[in-house]
């Protein structure tokens, strides 16, 4: 429990003489300021903490009263709070303010004639407790100062409820930051040949941006930013701006810039290619260095990846999206076969212009004749009414192709529409070879009159599985290896054919008995 020092009779009498109400007197224009540091680091146990306070505009003052509030009373020896007043003044011992545990009142008075007029300064001193460490964070605040020529003629000054004259002990270290203000993983089309080295808003133009904030968290202009661009692809990349520079395949370019208004720095890149161009990617880093609140210099950086390629539709049986009851987007696509397929990546855009990768690698099956579906749930959606998606398919040898773009409306009325196949397609049966039965899957993009028939090697119809009109959707039919009479057919190669409007597709399968 904290105990206060016993005051001498004369000191106590002087202290009690200061306890009167405040009036608007001759000192109402006095201003106070903290001339010592507002932050002190490395403060340990038993350390003295001083607040040097300067006053200006005094008119014959002979009495001083200071209220000091601490953030944690256990962090200080509140019995040792003192004030070093003006020259010739008598200091009064600190006393806890009645009804509080965290506020101390200290004072001083001039016993003889005269008084302080004009400018003057005094110091308030506290001592940290034995349990205080250099990791302890605490704040000391002067919440009220009362001055005047007598106990009945006083003016009071305070911060109006906000921190006024305050010192922060062992403040937390605050670091400067460099953060991306654009997408960091972007895939886009090439610009047309001849447009890549011109800032004209063509398809391949990509803007990368970063924002610098100093150790106080304020976005800061004038900070040196270095952009490093590595061309990992087969086509040239252009850095656009007041001057245009070309980065050849495999080359590296360093661009120096300075943060502008709002701490922002931007880099504009472009690449061009025709339908025979190979995929081109850039690894980009924005970097700088700046001091933290303790003066230590930190290295800051942000990494970006940009890929340009030719939009070649992947061989998909279907690619569709569904908005779930939780307002997520469920993507599903199907392939009738795969060749050297390493896997898929999902890219998303809110404007159908700049896309960013939103999935990791969704593994494929290498080479397979098996019909298979894949899915991905996108649950971290931006605030928008419409989203656009495409699939980026990667071969085992690194070859990359892209699917068509699908549009997903996030309104509930669009859910059913998004689930429909985008193309009419016939998938490879599964299993194949089979015994005794196999499954045949097909999609209809629109309502159609269809027939799904089985043929033998001579072209004779063995079985008609479906005949009639069906609405758009995905369908699965089972063939049990029997003909129209229900008799099981022999081993061998058979064909199945889907006719839907003007669409026709035939595939073969093998029955092994």
Instruction: State mean pLDDT over 166-170.
Output: 92
Alpha carbon of residue 495 to chain centroid: 54
- Using the CB atoms, write b or e for 354-381: b if 16+ within 10 Å: bbbbbbeebebbeeebebbebebebeeb
* Contact call for residues 440 and 428 (beta carbons, < 8 A): no
Which pLDDT score, from 0 to 100, does residue 21 have? Answer: 38
- Name the pLDDT band for 160 (thresholds 50, 70, 90): low
Angle at 484 between CA 478 and CA 487, to 5 degrees: 90
Summary mean pLDDT of the chain = 85
- Name the pLDDT band for 13 (thresholds 50, 70, 90): very low
Secondary structure of the chain: what % helix, strand, coil (to 5)? 5, 55, 40
d(CA 500, CA 152): 103
- Name the pLDDT band for 311 (thresholds 50, 70, 90): low
Residue 317 has a CB neighbour count (10 Å cut-off) of 23
Tell me which of 35-39, 80-84, 206-210, 429-433 is least confident.
Answer: 429-433
pLDDT digits (tens, 9 = 90+) for 337-364: 788 888 999 999 888 877 888 999 999 8
d(CA 396, CA 292): 46
Ordered by where they begin, the domains of the chain are 9-169 (2.60.40.680), 177-309 (2.60.40), 318-418 (2.60.40.10), 425-511 (2.60.40.4070)
pLDDT digits (tens, 9 = 90+) for 173-187: 889 999 999 988 888
- Name the pLDDT band for 100 (thresholds 50, 70, 90): very high
* 3-class secondary-structure state, position 15: helix
89: Cβ–Cβ under 8 A, 6 or more apart, which residues?
Answer: 64, 108, 109, 110
d(CA 457, CA 167): 93
pLDDT digits (tens, 9 = 90+) for 42-92: 999 999 999 999 999 999 999 999 999 999 999 999 989 999 988 889 998
Which pLDDT score, from 0 to 100, does residue 248 have? Answer: 92
d(CA 363, CA 379): 20
pLDDT digits (tens, 9 = 90+) for 373-394: 888 999 888 888 889 998 888 8
pTM: 0.47
Number of residues assigned to the chain: 513
Higher per-residue confidence, 458 vs 312: 458
Give the N- to C-terminal CA distance of the chain in Å, as an integer.
Answer: 94
Instruction: State mean pLDDT over 386-413.
Output: 80
Tell me which of 167-171, 413-417, 505-509 is least confident.
Answer: 413-417
- Burial level of 187, CB count in 10 A (0-12/13-18/19+)? buried
Q: Are strands 165-169 and 39-40 parallel, antiparallel or unpaired?
A: parallel
Residue 141 pLDDT > 90: yes
DSSP run (H or E) holding 16 = helix 9-17
285: Cβ–Cβ under 8 A, 6 or more apart, which residues?
Answer: 227, 228, 301, 302, 303, 304
């Amino acid at each position: 429990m904290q105990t206060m020092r016993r005051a001498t009779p004369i000191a106590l009498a002087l202290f009690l003489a200061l306890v009167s109400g405040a009036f608007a007197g001759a000192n109402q224009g006095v201003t106070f300021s903290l001339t010592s540091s507002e932050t002190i680091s490395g403060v340990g146990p038993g350390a003295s903490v001083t607040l040097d306070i300067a006053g200006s505009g005094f008119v014959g003052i002979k009495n001083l009263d200071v209220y000091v509030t601490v953030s944690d009373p256990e962090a200080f020896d509140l019995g040792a709070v003192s004030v070093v007043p003006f020259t010739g003044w008598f200091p009064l011992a600190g006393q806890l303010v009645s009804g509080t545990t965290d506020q101390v009142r200290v004072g001083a008075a001039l016993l003889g004639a005269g008084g302080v007029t004009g400018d003057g300064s005094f110091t308030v001193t506290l001592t940290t407790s034995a349990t205080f460490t250099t990791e302890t964070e605490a704040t000391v605040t002067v919440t009220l100062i009362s001055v005047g020529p007598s106990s009945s003629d006083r003016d009071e000054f305070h911060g109006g409820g906000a921190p006024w004259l305050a010192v922060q002990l062992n403040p937390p270290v605050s670091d400067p930051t460099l953060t991306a203000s654009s997408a960091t993983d972007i895939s886009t089309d090439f610009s047309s040949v001849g447009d890549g080295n011109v800032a004209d808003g063509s398809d391949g133009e990509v803007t990368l941006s970063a924002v610098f904030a100093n150790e106080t968290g304020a976005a800061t202009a004038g900070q040196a930013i270095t952009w490093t661009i590595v061309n990992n692809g087969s086509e040239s990349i252009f850095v656009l701006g007041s001057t245009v520079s070309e980065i050849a395949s495999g080359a590296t370019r360093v661009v120096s810039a300075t943060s502008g208004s709002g701490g922002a720095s931007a880099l504009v890149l472009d690449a061009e290619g025709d339908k025979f161009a190979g995929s081109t990617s850039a690894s980009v880093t924005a970097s700088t260095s700046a001091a933290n609140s303790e003066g230590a210099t930190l290295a800051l950086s942000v990494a970006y990846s940009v890929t340009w390629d030719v939009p070649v539709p992947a061989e998909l049986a279907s690619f569709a999206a569904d908005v779930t009851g939780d307002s997520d987007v469920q993507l599903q696509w199907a392939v009738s076969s795969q060749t050297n397929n390493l896997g898929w990546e999902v890219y998303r855009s809110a404007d159908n212009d700049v896309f960013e990768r939103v999935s990791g690698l969704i593994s494929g099956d290498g080479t397979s004749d098996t019909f298979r579906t894949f899915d991905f749930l996108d649950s971290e959606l931006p605030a928008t009414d419409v989203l656009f998606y495409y699939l980026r398919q990667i071969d085992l040898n690194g070859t990359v192709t892209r699917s068509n773009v699908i549009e997903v409306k996030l309104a509930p009325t669009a859910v059913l529409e998004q689930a429909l196949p985008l193309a009419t397609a016939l998938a490879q049966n599964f299993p194949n070879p089979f015994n005794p039965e196999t499954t045949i899957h097909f999609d209809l993009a629109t309502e159609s009159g269809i027939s799904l028939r089985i043929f033998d090697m001579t072209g004779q119809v063995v079985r008609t599985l479906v005949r009639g009109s069906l609405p758009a959707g995905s369908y699965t039919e089972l063939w049990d290896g029997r003909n129209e009479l229900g008799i099981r057919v022999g081993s061998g190669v058979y064909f199945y054919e889907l006719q839907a409007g003007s669409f026709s597709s035939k595939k073969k399968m093998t029955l092994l008995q």
